Amino acid sequence: MASKTSAFRQLWIFALTATIEILIVTLVFHVQPNLTYWENPLVHVNVAAKVAISAFCLLVVMAWPQRTRIIEAHRAATAQSAFKRVFAANVLLFISLIAVRAVIQQTPDAPFPLVVACAGLQLATGASLAFLAAPPDFWRRLLKIVPVEIMVALAGGSIAIVLGYAAQDGWSALAGATLTISHAILSLYETNVVLDTEQALLGAGDFKVLISGPCSGYEGIALVLTVVPIYIWVFRRELRFPNVLLLLPLGVAAIWLLNTLRIAILVSIGAHVSPEMAIQGFHSQGGWIGFLFVTLGIVAVTRRVPFFAAVATTRPVPVNAVAAEAHADHTLPYLAPFMAMVAANILASAFAPHDHALYPVKVLAIAAALWWFQDVLRPLVSKVSGTSVTIGLAVGVAWIATDPGGETPIAAWIAALPAGAAAAWLVLRAFGSVVLVPIAEELAFRGFLARWLISTRFESVSFGRFSVLAFVGSSLAFGLMHQRWLAATLAGAIYALLMYRTKRLSDPIAAHAATNLAIMIWAVAAGQWSLL
């Protein structure tokens, strides 16, 4: 049987190959044959690719409970795969595809058989990529392991793509309804409301906004129609059918109505507070706040309302009940501080460009969560090695050295503050960055995620237990939370290695704190505010 390392090596080769080929095809060769939409086979191949990608993303979530069987099936199939031959076939097909696309690109009236050949080569190259990720035997085994999940994922991916195309054509109709409802809400408390239905303008006083297609609420509706079905599927054993299906139209209606309320509030903020805050901050963050409110509300309703929750069994299950309760008690302390930080960031961003003034909200949110769970988290505090602190400082120096710099609004904002206020804000920022943020992020990414990727009963996994999936997954997730995601991913990997080496969570926390301390000191001393 192939080793675990070889299976992962093949997956990395697949990921790198797929990334390179997709970038070359999409960025270098823009093929637009002189054919109508329905006549062009390349259009249908591209749609099929979008469906496949969407279905795969859904399948990953829905098949997660069966991940152990799937991983074992992948290892077993990979052991018998002819990887080098598949890779050679993929390279040959891709070269042929590029050659044909280059010819079509240089030929405005390319013959139809050549376009068909291009579409066929594109399909064949895509299939070879799938076989590069896993041999055909794995896909046959996967069909036996999660047949229902595969069918649902394909249906969901197809529906998502169809709805996406339909939404592009239906924006204007829904935008009109959004404009009408937003105007009605605004008229409840504003006296100088301005409405221009022909130009789709809504305002109060001198401030007006254009209610275009993207403002109609389709993005929020698409998110709800994606997330809620996944939630229903994953927790289907705990929900009551068909009652729970009512959550779909209720969620869509709720997110749309919240979008109309968002627009009304946006107009009021622009008219009475700050046009910049309305456009730069609340315009985007208000939508995310509404989405979080709807999704968390749906979860809360399904847990509390008997109409949606499955009827509890009358058989005594004290052991499982106690275990589930204990598991929940372990999870929240690790995630609550990070969730509080994210919620505070979203709230503050809604007030951009004045969001820096709300940094105290972030400090209070994280501190409150840590204080609430102090009894659970206090045992994690232990000794810290000097090596971890030194490595953390080195990461901070590397972060400073690779900072792209540039102008940042925070520089002008700090300069405009009175000296005392600026000093107080910087002290509070240092406390949050050096003390609170490292604790919140390390609890979530190293303390929880890195162990949860090994076992859902993560509390039973030691801090020193290594797994490639856990190491890469938690480091990448940590990196994606930062604007400089690649540098942050590398920093997260270093913190994870410190945890594996010392078998303690206190060491990555200390290293993370040392990194942020070095960055904070340099930013203030050198006036390099882009680091904050």
The three state secondary structure string of 16-73 is HHHHHHHHHHHHCCCCCCCCCCCCCHHHHHHHHHHHHHHHHHHHHHHCHHHHHHHHHH
Q: Residue 171: inside a domain, yes or no? A: no
| Whole-Å CA distances, 519 to 314, 321, 397, 488 | 57, 46, 7, 13
In a domain, 172, yes or no: no
524: its two tokens: 């203030």
Q: Cα(311)–Cα(218) distance, rounded to whole angstroms?
A: 35
Q: Are 55 and 63 in contact (CB under 8 A)?
A: no
Output the six-digit token pair for 198: 């022909």
Nearest CA to 33 out of 93, 111, 95 is that of 111
**What does the alpha-carbon distance between residue 148 and residue 378 come to, in Å, rounded to a whole number?**
45
326 is a domain residue: no
* Domain end (from 128, 153, 178): 153
Same domain flag for 360 and 298: no
Q: Are residues 263 and 217 in the same domain?
A: yes
How far is CA 475 from its chain centroid? 14
* Cβ 13 vs Cβ 132: under 8 Å: yes
* CA R_g for the chain: 27
Q: Domain range spanning residue 129? A: 4-153
278 within a domain of the structure (yes/no): yes
Same domain, 361 and 489: yes
Crossing angle for the helix pair 218-234 and 41-62, to the nearest 10 degrees: 50
Residue 179 located in a structural domain:
no
pLDDT in tens, the chain (532 residues): 444 446 777 878 888 888 788 777 766 556 666 666 667 787 788 888 878 877 787 777 677 778 788 888 888 888 777 888 888 998 999 888 888 888 877 776 778 888 888 888 888 988 898 888 888 888 888 888 888 778 877 877 777 676 666 555 555 566 778 888 888 888 888 888 888 877 878 888 888 887 766 566 777 777 787 778 877 876 777 788 778 888 888 888 888 888 888 888 888 888 887 777 667 656 656 666 777 778 778 877 887 788 888 754 444 444 443 343 444 457 788 988 988 888 787 777 666 666 778 888 889 989 998 998 888 888 888 889 999 999 999 999 999 988 877 667 787 778 888 888 888 989 999 999 999 999 999 999 999 989 988 887 888 889 999 888 889 888 888 887 887 888 888 999 999 999 999 999 999 999 999 999 999 999 888 888 888 7
Residue 181 maps to a domain: no
Task: Count how many domains the chain has.
Answer: 3
Tell whether 46 and 107 lie within a shared domain: yes
Indicate if 232 and 371 belong to the same structural domain.
no
Helix (H, G, I), strand (E, B) or coil at 503: coil
Q: Is residue 317 part of a domain?
A: no
